[in-house]
Amino acid sequence: MTGPDSELDPAGRVDWLRELIHEHNQAYYERDAPIIADADYDLLIRELRFLEEAHPDLITAESPTQSGVGGSPSEQFSPVEHRRRMMSLDNAMDLEELRSWGDRTARRLADLGNDSTVRYVCELKIDGLAVSVRYENGRLVQAATRGDGRTGEDVTANVSGISAVPQTLGAGAPEVLEARGEIYLPLDSFQALRERVIAENVELAAKGNRQKPVPVNPRNAGAGSLRQKDASVTASRGLSWWCYQLGEIIGAEEPPAHSAALGWLGDMGIPVNPETKVVEDLDGVYEFCAYWIEHRHELPYEIDGVVIKIDDLAIQQALGATAKAPRWAIAFKLPPEERTTTLLDIQVSIGRTGKATPFAVLQPVFVGGSTVGMSTLHNEDQVRHKDVRPGDTVILRKAGDVIPEVVGPVLELRPSGLPEWQFPKNCPSCAEPLIRHEGEAQHLCVNPLCPQKRWASICHFASRGAMDIDGLGEQQIASFLELGLMSDVADIYSLQAEPILQLPGYQQLSVQNLLSAIEASKSRPLGNLLFGLNILHLGAAGGQTIAAAFGSLDAIMAASVEDLSAVAGIGPVIAGSVYSFFSEPLNQNLVGRLVAAGVNTVGPERSLLDQTLQGKAVVVTGSLAGFSRDGAAAAIKERGGTAPGSVSKKTFAVVIGQEPGASKLTKATELQLPLLNESEFLHLLETGQIPTTSHDQEAPT
């Protein structure tokens, strides 16, 4: 449904947009079940605003652009009249729009005769549910959602069960203090909730009962958790709260600045986000926003923007507000990471080990900084679990550099009678039957002559993480296969210059560079070779581990499953897969040809250093003066330790360099892990012991 044409019938288009936005407001604010992503909703609002600016006679007081957004209070909860209206904010969709807001604000201040220096407060825009929490004489007496800004829902019982919301305030609390903030679901709580629902659905499916919807994002899951009829359910979900504004106050003098108000609220015991920053000018605002565009995923909770407010409350009052939003504040929206689009088809690709992986073919859409037209669906169970079908409108999520994910369908928009997608029984490349072993999630094509499998295996062998053959890319490999110049990875080392020179696009220099890269690949570490051989379940780290443990390819090929399983970090599944690979006569022949070609078959020399970190996991975050990132990890591994990329309960210590990752630091603090600076890290490497001067709860300076 596209609605009336904006040029032929602007009035009809405006009415259609208002009705559509009203429907989405109800879905988002009242049912916690949005039909479209935030970015798509913002586009509707922006189009409506553009049409109203072009046709001022069409503007009405009830338009979403004039009255603000929000939903009517649910009948499930008693209504609460806000003593001060909880207004929404205007949005800036990029840095240019933010700069335009700054220029408009400067002009308004000049018109008001204000020539004083204006400071700004920058706050992270938490992706949660706005609430107002009222304290009387230091005790929590009421909590309400924003609702439509004038009337919200009484959620006092549910908010009282959230540990981050204090029941009583510190000394000096006034007669009345209203704190406004955002209830949100931390990422670890969201993941725990998802896993719990998925586990429950397995039991429900086994009994033939209807399954529960799996939460698709922290915002909706958090809002739904807050609106539970049973307050004990809300308390069990792990919700949290950040306060961002002082509301009504009686019995105390209001601080003169917003930053001072936040500091005062913090002194009362109300949680205020620690990333909040006061800057002296608009350049500082732009730098803050640019920083969080890059670092948003280092936080243990989701944000969708930055809120910028003029700090001085007198200037705020002078600037005033429009009918829907204050002029002294704006929300800078980070690039969208969720969009809705159409699932055109589900196809299956065959990977290097024969894995048959379904993937979504999508109507291309811009999300997370790039245009996305495809997304993996992992396996048959994931497709069935998400219940996505060709023809569905789906939610697509892309967080930073993470592979795009189809979160799920928008069931309200599913066409009637849309059939479920069925996993194919035969390989789409070679037509041989696909096999799914008991206990495995993946289907496999086991045909060694499968064209797609052969191409993918050679591409992987030549890739950077394996034999790193520069100039031997996917297109070149496809051409060589088609022309019969190669049929497997060993044939790479038999390539000759003359046949390649006959191909379009190849000159003497490019061919010589390719052959030189192939020759150089022969000296790659044994672990790279093992990884490049496309052994099922064996990753790059596992290849290096096995190479270091056995020291040579001959020893690995002679090892039993028990021998392989005895290596730390190599479980029975990987061990069995490695053993099976080298037991196959076809693979033995392939390896023999590689050895004859001169590839390296000797593992790394065993470290002569004392194994001071044997069995210990040490996480390094931030930059160190005396080590590169890889160098620090190597120093740990050379002493028998591991250097994982994330913090967990198994972590022995966390080394903190300059500009550490916020999420790692937060997690380490929560788990009360030792935090070491660089000199303490050196002591740990030498002795394996935590220095007695280490900062167990505080990051080193």
> Three-state SS for 375?
strand
The amino acid at residue 14 is V
Q: Say which amino acid occupies 199.
A: A
Kindly state whether residues 317 and 274 are assigned to the same domain: yes
The β-bridge partners of 618 are 653
Higher local confidence (pLDDT), 432 or 34: 432
Of 300, 333, 366, the position where a domain reaches its end is 333
Question: Does residue 79 carry a pLDDT above 70?
Answer: yes
CB-neighbour burial class of residue 347 (10 A; exposed 0-12, middle 13-18, buried 19+): middle
Q: Are residues 666 and 567 in the same domain?
A: no
Binning pLDDT at 50, 70 and 90, where does residue 11 land? Answer: confident
Mean pLDDT on 91-107: 88
Q: Is 453 a catalytic residue?
A: no
Tokens describing residue 617 = 């996991």
699 pLDDT more than 60: no
Q: Quick one: 513 and 638 in the same domain?
A: no
Say whether pLDDT at 86 is over 80.
Answer: yes
Examine residue 399 and state whether it is found in any structural domain, yes or no: yes
- Whether the pLDDT of residue 239 is over 50: the answer is yes
Q: What pLDDT score does 356 carry?
A: 94
* Shared domain check, 542 and 511: no
Establish if 424 belongs to a structural domain: no
Q: Output the pLDDT for position 347.
A: 95
Look at strands 443-444 and 617-621 and give their pairing. Answer: unpaired
Looking at the structure, do residues 149 and 297 belong to the same domain, yes or no? yes
**593-631 b/e (C-beta count within 10 Å ≥ 16 → b):** bbeebebbbebeeeeeeeebbeebbbbbbbebeebeeee
Q: How many CB atoms lie within 10 A of CB 56?
A: 7
The model's confidence at residue 273, banded by pLDDT at 50, 70 and 90, is: very high
- The 10s digit of each residue's pLDDT in 565-589 is 988 778 899 999 999 999 999 999 9
Sequence-distant (≥ 6) Cβ neighbours of residue 104 within 8 angstroms: none
Q: What is the pLDDT of residue 675?
A: 93
pLDDT band at 23 (very low <50, low <70, confident <90, very high): confident
Give me the torsion for CA of 10, 15, 20, 25, rounded to 10°. 120
Indicate which residue of 125, 277, 309, 386 is catalytic: 125
Name the residue type at position 4: P
Q: Which residues contact 500 (CB under 8 A, 6 or more apart)?
A: 485, 506, 511, 514
Mean pLDDT of 609-619: 87
Does residue 361 carry a pLDDT above 90?
Answer: yes
CA distance 408 to 396: 8
Query: Are 458 and 591 found together in one domain?
Result: no
Closest CA to 559 of 605, 603, 614, 611: 603
Q: Could you tell me the two tokens for 637? A: 């591994």
Mean pLDDT of 648-663: 88
Q: Would 621 be classed as within a structural domain?
A: yes
In DSSP terms, 136 is beta-bridged to 139, 176
Per cent of the chain over pLDDT 90 is: 53
Place of tokens 């966390």: 654
- Model-wide pTM > 0.85: no
284 and 136, same structural domain? yes
| Domain harbouring 562, CATH code | 1.10.150.20
The verdict on residue 695 lying in a domain is no
pLDDT of residue 615: 80
Q: Please state, in angstroms and rounded to a whole number, the distance separating the CA atoms of residues 639 and 335.
A: 43
What CATH number is associated with residue 623?
A: 3.40.50.10190
% of the chain beyond a pLDDT of 70: 94
Say if CB 186 and CB 178 are below 8 A apart: no
Contact 351, 416 (CB under 8 A): no
Residue 696, domain member (yes or no) = no
Average pLDDT over residues 279-289: 92
Do residues 197 and 322 share a domain?
Answer: yes
In a domain, 41, yes or no: yes
Measured distance CA(246)–CA(579) in Å, rounded: 65
The tokens for 112 are 């008001």
| C-alpha angle 274-279-284 in degrees, rounded to nearest 5 | 110
Instruction: Indicate the range of 182-186, 408-412, 427-431 predicted with least confidence.
Output: 408-412
Domain boundary among 521, 542, 566: 521
Please tell me the least confidently modeled range out of 72-76, 405-409, 419-423, 528-532.
Answer: 72-76
> Which CATH number characterizes residue 308's domain?
3.30.470.30
- Taking CA atoms, 384 is separated from 26, 312, 352, 521, in Å, by 29, 54, 24, 42
Q: State the Cα torsion 362-366-371-377 to the nearest 10°.
A: -40
What is the per-residue pLDDT across 484-493, written as a single tens digit (0 to 9) for each?
Answer: 999 999 999 9
Which pLDDT score is estimated for 589? 96
My answer on whether 146 and 163 are in the same domain is: yes
Residues 226 and 346 in one domain: no
- In the predicted model, is pLDDT for residue 171 greater than 90? no
The 8-class DSSP code of residue 56 comes to: G
User: Helix, strand or coil for residue 71?
Assistant: coil
631 compared with 344, residue with greater pLDDT: 344
Q: Which of 482, 502, 521 is the last residue of a domain?
A: 521
Beta strands per DSSP E along 277-428 = 277-279, 303-310, 329-333, 338-350, 355-367, 370-376, 393-397, 405-409
Region 604-625: mean pLDDT is 85
Closest Cα partner for 69 from 27, 36, 37, 103?
Answer: 27
User: pLDDT-based confidence at 309, cuts 50/70/90?
Assistant: very high
CB atoms within 10 A of CB 395: 23
Nearest to 187 by CA among 663, 669, 645: 663
Q: Number of folded domains in the chain?
A: 6
Residue 465 placed within a domain: yes
pLDDT at 138 over 80: yes
pLDDT at 184: 95
**Are residues 589 and 533 both part of a single domain?**
yes
pLDDT band at 606 (very low <50, low <70, confident <90, very high): low
pLDDT one-digit tens code per residue, 368-409 = 767 889 998 989 998 988 899 999 999 998 765 567 889 889
pLDDT of residue 399: 63
Is the CB of residue 128 less than 8 Å from the CB of residue 222? Answer: yes
* Structure token pair of residue 180: 């406004």
In a domain, 429, yes or no: no
**pLDDT tens-place string over residues 189-230:** 999 998 888 888 888 877 878 777 778 788 888 888 898 888
User: Quick one: pLDDT at residue 69?
Assistant: 53
pLDDT score recorded for residue 68: 53
Residue 483 has pLDDT above 70, yes or no: yes
b/e code 202-220 from CB counts within 10 Å (16+ = b): eeeeeeeeeeeebbbbbbb
650 close to 671: Cβ distance less than 8 angstroms = no
Amino acid occupying residue 633: A
d(CA 417, CA 231): 39
Q: Is the pLDDT of residue 336 over 80?
A: no
On the CB side of 349, CA atoms within 13 Å amount to 13
- Rounded to an integer, the average pLDDT of 176-194 is 93
Q: Could you tell me the pLDDT band of residue 543, with boundaries at 50, 70 and 90?
A: very high
Residue 701: what pLDDT? 39
Mean predicted confidence (pLDDT) in 107-128: 87
Based on the domain organization, do 307 and 320 belong to the same domain?
Answer: yes
Domain that holds residue 456: 451-521
CA distance 32 to 224: 6
